[in-house]
């Protein structure tokens, strides 16, 4: 017999499950990492953009302040804007420091140096402008605003706008990077799914092949078992037929001859002699033995099946059941009797014998019901009792039920063991009435 595929299938299942778990863990970590990266970058971009917009807003306020300083026509002293410029300066210094902390796109050393130098030069020029204003040189101070401060403020605004553009480009690049990673992960998932499907397909094909080989082997064993069962039943029936014939022909004839001889001797003996009484008693014993031999012969192989048919054989057997098994049987026959194949008839007869024997041994009842139904194309035999009932799961392993099921299968019929609503057991045999199965 071929080796069981269970070990290989279990190994394949373990490998498949381990691969699925490992790859699921990998995919989960990759997706979690992407989610963290996307969240972190989006948050940093947002905070960086806010700081750059804050810087840009401060530079715009400086531009508006310088415009107002030049449009006053000397009505307000330039020192009046000193406090506003100091506030904006502090806010700008704080915004630049925060922007450096959260910047996604790191500035090159040249950019950092340029911004620092530009801011330092701008505020140096602002200090000089306010110094000129405090010393009474308003015109020179305004000229300083017009010539130097506005140009430096414009340069700073341009640099900050460039940083905003870079920040937006970085955000787009980050989004593209995340999409690329998602695409790679998706491709790997597809490859993994394809590999998993291939593994499942290979395992399934191996399982189908193994199952096919197993079922072929089981079918061969089933055929061998059926052939063996058929042979055993054939041998048993043949043996019982021979024994019954020997009992009927040899022992029956011998006992008949002994009875005849005893009757002849009895007639020659004196009427009132003790010998005549003894001979009569021996003759009665011989007749009883002859009746028992004939009954045993009919039980082993009822010749009535061949002489009168199944219905008559069943009626004769049921008439002997109460004496043999202690059962009172209520018999019911319905339908017009039809000719039944001799082989099928002996199988039906044996099922009846075995079922009633089980009732006598196991049910705890002394009454049973037998129903024989002749229907178009079908013969149905039922044996019912209202006793303890039978556990079909346990009984299915008993030799009696196994033999009955095998006989039903040999007739292309079916045997059911049921539990009626009234309790007990119902054995139902259904076979084709035109069965031609041969032993």
pTM over 0.85: no
203 and 307 in a single domain? The answer is: no
> Do 104 and 169 meet the contact criterion of CB atoms below 8 Å apart?
no
**End position of a domain, from candidates 155, 190, 207:** 207
**Is the residue at 255 inside a domain?**
no
The rounded distance, in Å, linking the Cα atoms of 66 and 152 is 12
Q: Confirm whether 52 is domain-assigned.
A: yes
**What torsion, rounded to 10 degrees, do the Cα atoms 111, 112, 118, 122 define?**
150
Q: 260 in a domain, yes or no?
A: no
Q: Domain ends where: 179, 207, 235?
A: 207
Q: What domain count does the chain have?
A: 2
**Contact in structure between 412 and 437 (CB atoms under 8 Å):** yes
Q: Do 154 and 40 lie in a common domain?
A: yes
Q: Is residue 252 part of a domain?
A: no
One domain, residues 182 and 57: yes
pLDDT in tens, 84-140: 888 988 888 888 888 777 775 556 677 777 778 888 888 888 888 888 888 888 888
Same domain, 26 and 154: yes
Both 424 and 307 in one domain: the answer is yes
Please check whether residues 43 and 172 belong to one and the same domain.
yes
Among 406, 308, 413, 366, residue whose Cα is nearest residue 317: 308
Q: What is the CATH number of the domain that holds 349?
A: 3.30.565.10
Tens-place pLDDT, residues 27-46 = 777 777 777 776 776 777 77
Decide if 84 is inside a domain: yes
Those residues whose C-beta lies under 8 Å from the C-beta of residue 373, and which sit 6 or more positions away, are 333, 334, 335, 379, 380, 381, 382
pLDDT in tens, the chain (439 residues): 456 566 766 777 778 778 777 777 877 777 777 777 767 767 777 777 788 888 888 888 888 888 878 776 656 777 778 888 889 888 888 888 887 777 755 566 777 777 788 888 888 888 888 888 888 888 888 888 888 888 888 888 888 888 778 777 777 777 777 777 778 777 877 887 788 778 778 877 777 787 788 888 888 887 787 777 777 777 776 777 677 676 666 666 777 777 777 777 777 777 777 776 777 777 778 778 777 776 676 666 676 677 778 888 888 888 888 887 888 889 998 888 777 777 788 888 888 888 888 888 888 888 899 999 888 888 889 999 988 877 655 444 456 787 888 888 888 888 888 888 878 888 999 988 754 443 3
Within-domain flag for 268: no
The answer to whether residue 293 is domain-embedded is no
Residue whose C-alpha is closest to residue 101's, from 150, 57, 47, 54: 47
Same domain, 22 and 137: yes
Whether residues 13 and 131 share a domain: the answer is yes
338 CB-near residues (< 8 Å, 6+ apart)? 374, 379, 433
Domain end (from 207, 233, 252): 207
Residue 370 has what pLDDT? 92
Indicate whether 342 belongs to any domain: yes
Task: Residue 114: give its domain's CATH number.
Answer: 1.20.1330
**pLDDT confidence of residue 394:** 47
Q: Are residues 202 and 321 in the same domain?
A: no
For residues 10 and 144, state if they share a domain. Answer: yes
Q: Do 143 and 38 reside in the same domain of the chain?
A: yes
Q: Which domain holds residue 108?
A: 6-207
């Amino acid at each position: 017999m071929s080796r069981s595929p269970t070990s290989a299938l279990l190994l394949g299942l373990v490998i498949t499950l381990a691969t699925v778990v490992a790859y699921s863990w990998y995919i989960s970590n990759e997706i979690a990492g992407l989610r963290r990266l996307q969240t972190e970058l989006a948050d940093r971009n947002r905070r960086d953009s806010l700081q750059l917009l804050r810087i840009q807003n401060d530079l715009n306020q400086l531009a508006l302040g310088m415009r107002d300083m030049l449009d006053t026509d000397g009505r307000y002293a330039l020192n009046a804007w000193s406090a506003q410029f100091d506030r904006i300066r502090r806010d700008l210094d704080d915004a630049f420091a925060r922007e450096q902390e959260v910047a996604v796109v790191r500035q090159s050393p040249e950019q950092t140096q340029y911004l620092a130098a530009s801011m330092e030069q701008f505020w140096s020029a602002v200090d000089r402008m306010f110094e000129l204003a405090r010393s009474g040189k308003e015109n020179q101070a305004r000229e300083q605003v017009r010539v130097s401060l506005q140009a430096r403020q414009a340069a700073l605004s341009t640099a900050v706008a460039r940083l905003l553009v870079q920040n937006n480009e970085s955000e787009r690049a980050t989004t593209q990077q995340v999409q690329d990673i998602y695409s790679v992960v998706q491709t790997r998932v597809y490859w993994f799914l394809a590999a998993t499907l291939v593994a499942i397909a290979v395992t399934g094909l191996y399982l189908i092949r193994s199952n096919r080989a197993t079922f072929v082997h089981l079918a061969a064993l089933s055929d061998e078992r059926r052939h063996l069962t058929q042979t055993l039943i054939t041998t048993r029936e043949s043996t019982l037929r021979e024994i019954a014939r020997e009992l009927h022909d040899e022992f029956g004839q011998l006992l008949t001859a002994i009875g005849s001889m005893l009757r002849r001797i009895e007639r020659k003996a004196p009427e009132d002699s003790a010998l005549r009484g003894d001979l009569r008693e021996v003759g009665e014993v011989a007749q009883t033995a002859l009746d028992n031999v004939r009954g045993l012969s009919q039980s082993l192989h009822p010749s009535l099946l061949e002489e009168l048919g199944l219905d008559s054989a069943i009626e004769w057997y049921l008439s002997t059941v109460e004496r043999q098994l202690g059962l009172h049987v209520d018999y019911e026959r319905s339908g017009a009797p039809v000719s039944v194949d001799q082989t099928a008839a002996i199988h039906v007869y044996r099922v009846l014998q075995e079922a009633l024997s089980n009732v006598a041994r196991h049910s705890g009842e002394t009454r049973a019901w037998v129903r024989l139904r002749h229907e178009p194309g079908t013969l149905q035999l039922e044996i019912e009792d209202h006793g303890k009932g039978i556990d079909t799961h346990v009984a299915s392993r008993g030799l009696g039920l196994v033999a009955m099921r095998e006989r039903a299968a040999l007739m292309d019929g079916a045997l059911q063991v049921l539990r009626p609503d009234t309790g007990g057991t119902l054995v139902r045999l259904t076979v084709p009435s035109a069965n031609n199965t041969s032993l």
